[in-house]
Structure 1
Amino acid sequence: MQVNKHWGKLGRIASTGLLSLTLLLGYVFPVHAEAPSGTPSISSWSIETLNEGEKYGIYPLNWYYDGSFQGAITAEKFQSLMKSTGEKLDQLGFDKKDAALSFKTDQVITRETVITSLHTLLANYKLPASFGLADQQPVDYMSAKGIVKGTKAGLELNKPSTVEQAAVMASRLVEYAYDTAGAGAKGLMWKVTNGENTLYLLGSVHLGITDMYPMEKSIRDAFQASEDLWVEVDIVNSDMSYFASKMVYDDGTTLKDHVSEDTYKKLEKALEKMGMPAGTFDGYKPFAITTSLSTLSYYEAPEEQLIASNTGIDSYFITKAMLSGKPINELESIKLQADLFADVPASEQEAELNTLLDAILSEDGNQKAADYLKQMQLYWVKGDREGLAELLSADEQFASGETNQRLIGERDKNMAKKLAELLEQEGKHTSFVVVGSAHYVVKGMVVDLLKEKGYDVQFVQ
C-alpha cells in the first residue's frame, strides 16, 4: 500500500452542508479548517487499525505529524493515551475495581509495559465472563485476543514502544472490548434483499463525533461482507474543481454587486463575531458562503472542525473502502450537487444566507445549531430512527423550506431507481450503501420507495 499517496487525499477531507439539515441530506463541501500540514509518519501495517483508532478520540491527530510517531513513546504521551483509553472504556458502563488506577513511567516504556498496562486497564473493570480475563497472563491474553500481533518470541518485549505501536494496541483494545461487550454505535442501517442480491443501507451524518466509533460489529461485518461501496459522491477521490468554479463569480464582480447593503453588513458582523476577516467571502456566491458558515458556526476551534469532518460517516467508509480495495461507486455526482446549489435564483440564495446570518448573530444561535447537530448525532449513535424523524418533521425549515425541497424528491426517486437496478441484477451481489440519514428515515424517501417496489426491507436493530 502506498500510504503517503492516499494520505494526501485522506488527510484533507472535510465535509459540510447547507444549514444543519444538509448534514443528513448528503451534500459535502470543503470547509476552511485545515488538517495538520506535512506527511504523517505512519507504517503501512498500522494504517487500517489507526483509521479506526483515531476516530475513538484516544489520541490527537497531530501525533501523526509531530515527527515522533515512530519514535519511543514519552511518559507524557503514554499517560495521555492510557487516560483517554480508560475514558473510552468507561463508556461501556462497567463498574471499576480501583477508581484511581495509575501507571508508572519513571523508566523506559517498553512494549511489555504498554501491553501489561493496557491489560491492567481492562482488568480494572468488573467484566462479564465472556472476556475470560482470569485464564491467561497479560501478554498471552493480549496476544490471544489479537490486541498484540505476532509470536511471543518475536514481540521483542524489552524494546522501547513507539508511539505508533502503543496507539495501535490501544485502538485494538477498545475495539475488542466494545465487540466483546456487544457495544458500539448502533447507527441507522437497513438490509434490503431481492433473491440473492443484498443491499445494506447505512444512513450518514456528514459531521461526526467520537461517540460514533467504534460502530457495532454488525455494521462493520456488513461492510466487510459487501463487494462494493455506494455513496452519493466520492468526496475523497472526486474532482472538486467544477464545484469550486460554481462557488465563485467569474465575471469580475464580487458579492457586493449581488446582495443588498444590509446583507453585506450583516455578513461583516457575523465574520467579526466568528473571528474572520471582513472580506473573506467577497469573491463567493451566497450559497457557497452559507455552506461554509453553516459548518464553521458549529465549532469554536479549528481542532473541533477537524475532528467533526474526520469522524463523518461518509469519509470513514470511503477511506475504509480505499484501504481494503473495495470499488467505490457514486449514486450522484459532484456536478449534480453543485448545480442544485448554484442554479438557485440569486434572490433565494441571499434569503438563505440571511437566515443563517440571523442565526449566527442571535444571542444563542450558534449554540442552538450546535445542540441540534449533537442531537442528530446522538440519535444516530442510539439507532433511534423515530427520534431523528421526529426531530426533522418538527423543523419548519425541513418540512417546508424551499432549500430542503430541492434536496429531496427527485433525488430520492433517482437513488431508489439505481438501488433497484442493483437488486435486479443477475447472480448474487452484496453492496454497502451510505447516504444521508434523512433519505432513509423520512417518510416517502428511499426506504419507503424500495418497499413500494416490493423488496424485503428490514431495519437492522
Structure 2
Amino acid sequence: MPEQKRWSKLTRWATAGMLSFSILLGNVFPVHAETAAPAAPQISQWSVKTLHEGEKYGIYPINWYYDGSFQKAITPDKLKTLMEGTATKLDKLGFKKKVASLSFPTDKVITRETVITSLHKLLANYELPKAFDMDADMEPIDYLQKKGIVKGTKAGLELDKPSTVEHAAVMASRLVEFAYDVAGVGAEGLMWKVTNDKNTLYLLGSVHLGLTDMYPMQKSIREAFDASDNLWVELDMLNGDMSYFNEKMQYSDGTTIKDHVSKETYEKLQKALTKLDLQGNAFDGFKPFAISTSLSTLGYAQNPEAYQMAMLTGIDNYFITKAMLTGKPIHELEGIKLQADLFANVPPAQQEKELNAMLDSILTGNGIKESEESLKKMQLDWIEGDAEGLAKLLEIGFEDEASKRLIGERDKNMALKLAKLLEKEGENTSFVVVGAAHYVTKGMVVDLLKEKGYTVQYLQ
C-alpha cells in the first residue's frame, strides 16, 4: 500500500471529532492511568483565564501547577526556564535578534520588578516593527503597563516583593499573546463564517489532539468566539455524564473479549500487548471497538508529557473550558448517547475485523509511527489554515467502512441543526466547533449549508 494511503484510526478520529477518541485517551483504560494529572492544580482565580491561554504556549512545564511551588516565590532556576521558554516562543515570530543569548538574574530572591525587567529585556532583544511602539527611553515597567502586560498602578505593584511562579507565568503569557497579536500572526485554524439575515455562525474545525504551535490562535478566531452568544460542540466532553459510554464499551454479562472473537484474533491481541509491554488481560472486559480505539493512542501513552500537552491543546477542550470561564452557554449538536451508539452498534464481526486491522499495524511496526506522522501533518495543516491540504488528506483516508461511519449521515443532521440557528428570529451569533473533517470534506457540513442558500465565507 502506498505510504500516503496509510491513514491511521487515531488521525481519522482526531479529525472527525469522535467522543470515544477523547474518552479513551485518558479517562477509561488503566493503560493511560499513569498519565492522568492530579485533580487539584494550584491556580488562583484571578489568573485562571490568562493561564488557560498561556499554558498552551509551552513556555513553562504544566507540572508546576502541582509541585507545591506555583504560588510560592519563583526560584532562579524556574525564572531561567520560564524566560527560555518564552524566548523560544518569541523566536517563532521570525524577528532578528540583537544578541544571540541573554542571561537572567540568579539572585536568591527574584522580585516582581526583576521578572518585569527580564520580560522587557526578552522583547527588546528583537528588531521589532514600528507597531510594537518600543521606545528605548521608556522604562520597562511603563512600557509593559502601557501594553497591558502588567496591570495595576505602580504603587500597587509592590515591585520589591518576591514574585511568585504564578505571577511570573501570567506576565510571560500576556507578553506572548501581545507580541503575536501585534505581529499579526498566530495559528490560522480552519474557520468559516456563515450568515443569513442578522444571524451568524462561526464554524471552527477541531483537532482533538493539539500542539503548542496552535497557540496563540489568530486574534480573529478569539474575537469571533468573544462576539458569539454561545458555543456549540458535538458534545460537551468536560461536563457530560460519560457513564453511558463507559457501559457501552464493556461487557456486562460476565464475559470477556476472549468469548466474543476468534481464537486467532485473541492470540493476535496477546502478541500485540506483549509487544507494547502491557499485561495480557489489560482489555479483557472491553469490546473490540473500545480496544482498537485505545490501542491507536498508545503512541502518546509512551510519552506522558507529550500526551498531557496533546490533550491540553486540543481545540474542543480549549473552547469548552474557555466558555466555562467566561460564562458562555454550551450546547451540543449530538451528545454522548448518539456518538456512543455509533460505535457500539457496529456489528461484532465488523468490530473484530477493524480490531484485526489495528493489531496487524501494531505487529508490523507501522501503526504507532504512521499515527504520529499523519496526525502531525493534520495539525500543521490546521496551523497553516490549509483546508485544501487537509481535504486532500481526508480524500485518501475516508474510504473504508469504519471511516465512512464518522461522516455522512451525521453531517446532514448537523447541517439541519445549524440551519435552524440561521433561521432564528432576531440577531444571533454562535460559535460552532466540530471535527475538521465535517467541514473540509466535500459534500459535508459547509457544502450542505451552501446548498441551502446561506452565505458561506472561508476566513483566512
TM-score interval, smaller chain: over 0.9
Question: What CA distance in whole angstroms lies between the structure 1 residues aligned with 2:300 and 2:48?
Answer: 29
CA contact (8 A) 2:300 2:306 kept: no
2:17 is matched with which residue?
26
Q: Please tell me whether residue 367 in structure 1 is matched to residue 366 in structure 2.
A: no
Q: Secondary structure of the equivalent of 1:323?
A: helix
CA contact (8 A) 1:412 1:439 kept: yes
1:44 is matched with which residue?
45
TM-superposed deviation, 1:174:
0.5
CA contact (8 A) 2:9 2:371 kept: no
Corresponding residue to 1:383 among 382, 385, 390? 385
Q: Please tell me whether residue 289 in structure 1 is matched to residue 291 in structure 2.
A: yes
CA contact (8 A) 1:191 1:198 kept: yes
1:417 is matched with which residue?
416
2:191 is matched with which residue?
189
2:185 aligned partner, one-letter code: A
2:321 is matched with which residue?
319
Q: Identify the range of structure 1 (132-141 vs 118-127) with the bigger mean alpha-carbon deviation.
A: 132-141
Question: What CA distance in whole angstroms lies between the structure 2 residues aligned with 1:172 and 1:323?
Answer: 17
Q: Secondary structure of the equivalent of 1:46?
A: helix
Q: Secondary structure of the equivalent of 2:245?
A: helix
Change (3 A) 1:68 1:76: same
1:53 is matched with which residue?
54
1:114 is matched with which residue?
115
Post-superposition CA distance 1:316-335 (Å, at most 9, x none)? 00000000000000000100
1:150 is matched with which residue?
152
Q: Please tell me whether residue 402 in structure 1 is matched to residue 401 in structure 2.
A: yes
Question: What CA distance in whole angstroms lies between the structure 2 residues aligned with 1:266 and 1:388?
Answer: 33
Question: What CA distance in whole angstroms lies between the structure 1 residues aligned with 2:319 and 2:275?
Answer: 35
Question: What CA distance in whole angstroms lies between the structure 1 residues aligned with 2:171 and 2:291?
Answer: 42
Question: What CA distance in whole angstroms lies between the structure 2 residues aligned with 1:142 and 1:274?
Answer: 50
TM-superposed deviation, 1:87:
0.5
1:9 is matched with which residue?
none
Question: What CA distance in whole angstroms lies between the structure 1 residues aligned with 2:434 and 2:365?
Answer: 34
Question: What CA distance in whole angstroms lies between the structure 1 residues aligned with 2:445 and 2:349?
Answer: 31
Structure 1 residue runs of 4 or more that deviate by more than 3 Å after TM superposition: none
Post-superposition CA distance 1:177-229 (Å, at most 9, x none)? 00000010000000000000000000000111111000000000000000000
1:140 aligned partner, one-letter code: D
1:137 aligned partner, one-letter code: E
2:224 is matched with which residue?
222
Unaligned 5+ runs, structure 2:
1-7, 27-31
Unaligned 5+ runs, structure 1:
1-16
Root mean square deviation of aligned Cα: 1.2
1:445 aligned partner, one-letter code: M
TM-superposed deviation, 1:347:
0.8
TM-superposed deviation, 1:299:
5.2
1:120 aligned partner, one-letter code: K
Post-superposition CA distance 1:117-144 (Å, at most 9, x none)? 0000011111101001116210001111
1:65 is matched with which residue?
66
After superposition, residues 417-436 of structure 1 pair within 5 angstroms as 417-436=416-435
Question: What CA distance in whole angstroms lies between the structure 2 residues aligned with 1:438 and 1:38?
Answer: 32
| % identical equivalent positions | 66
TM-superposed deviation, 1:273:
2.6
Q: Secondary structure of the equivalent of 2:11?
A: coil
Q: TM-score, normalized by length of structure 1?
A: 0.94
Q: Secondary structure of the equivalent of 1:282?
A: coil
Q: Secondary structure of the equivalent of 1:202?
A: strand
Question: What CA distance in whole angstroms lies between the structure 2 residues aligned with 1:297 and 1:260?
Answer: 26
